[in-house]
Amino acid sequence: MAGYNKVLLMGNLTRDPEVRSTTSGQSVTALGLATNRSYVVGGPGGERREETTFIDVDFWGRRGEAIAQYLKKGDPIFIEGRLTFRQWEDKDGNKRSKLSVTGENFEFVGGRGGGQRGDGGGMEQSGGMEQGGGAPAAQQEGGGFDEVPF
């Protein structure tokens, strides 16, 4: 049977991205993402609630390095990736498992701090997530970076 494993997420980083290297020299960037969902309990006019989901995401290679270079805790990001299921034994011999996301592409979302527009319009998008893993090109108002190198 054929399968399809695709995840699209938009949220804010819960911590600064952390870049590590494997023993073979490949870089992997770990980040935490918080996504929010608003809903109403009890039908129209009912109580409005918000639910936050925290997701661990790993990016391999230069894409992750670019995220670590340009983003920090609290910054918004749009991620395209796939679900990954990991199993291991902890130090006490207990079986553990974790569902996370392996990031494949991303786009910067909204503006940067430091006096930029407060409406999230501080960065313009061009390019984006194109077929074949194209790199997002982002430009910050008033200078900044022109392209994210991949």
User: The domain 7-39+48-140 belongs to what CATH superfamily?
Assistant: Nucleic acid-binding proteins (2.40.50.140)
DSSP conformation letters of 59-122: EETHHHHHHHHH--TT-EEEEEEEEEEEEEE-TTS-EEEEEEEEEEEEEE-S--SSSS-TTS-S
> Per the confidence metrics, is the pTM higher than 0.75?
no
Domain ranges of the chain: 7-39+48-140
Cα separation of 82 and 7, whole Å? Answer: 5
- The DSSP bridge pattern shows strands 123-126 and 18-21 to be unpaired
Contact 79, 48 (CB under 8 A): no
pLDDT (0 to 100) of residue 42: 84
Q: By the 8 A CB rule, do 20 and 71 touch? A: no
pLDDT at site 112:
57
pLDDT by residue for the chain (150 residues), tens digit each? 899 999 999 999 999 999 999 999 999 999 999 999 999 998 888 899 999 999 999 999 999 999 999 999 999 999 999 999 999 999 999 999 999 999 999 999 986 554 333 333 333 333 343 333 333 333 333 333 344 444
At 37, give phi and psi (nearest 5°): -135, 125
- For position 110, what pLDDT does the model report? 80
Pull the structure tokens for residue 65. 């390095």
Q: Which residues pair with 96 in a beta bridge?
A: 88
Q: Specify the pLDDT at position 11.
A: 97
pLDDT recorded at residue 93 = 94
CA distance 33 to 48: 23
Q: What is the pLDDT of residue 104?
A: 97
